[in-house]
Amino acid sequence: VLKTALSAANSQLENAKSHASKMEQRLSSQESASAQQINELQSKLIVANEEKASLEKQISEAAISEQKNMHAFEELKSSQSALQTEVSNLKMDLSVMHNIGKQLYISVSELNCASASGCEHWLQASSALD
């Protein structure tokens, strides 16, 4: 009876060892797969961090470029304002010169009028200017 019980116990022990061995192989396989997934995820994380750093650099460069463009725009606005002032001054100068030209023309015409032959011409010219 003891022999049978011992034989049954040995059989159960062998079954348990076999089952434990299979479980150990399965766990080892899962551990290996998990380690591989961890390595893949770490590689992806490295790539993602590199992409993030690249994007941050691009954002920084874009911000610097935008600052430079804003500065250039402000300089252009300032130049435009200075040019508008200069154009306005030139228009006033032109108006003054036009008035001086009219006065010179009238003065010359008055001188011509002093002679008998130019008087009629002066009257026509001065009425055309008005």
| pLDDT tens, position by position, 17-53 | 999 999 999 999 999 999 999 999 999 999 999 999 9
Percent of residues in the chain assigned helix, strand, coil, to nearest 5 = 100, 0, 0
More confident residue, 78 or 106: 78
pLDDT of residue 130: 56
Query: Is the predicted pLDDT of residue 93 greater than 90, yes or no?
Result: yes
pLDDT of residue 123: 61
Indicate the pLDDT class of residue 14, thresholds 50, 70 and 90. very high
The structure tokens 């479980």 sit at 23
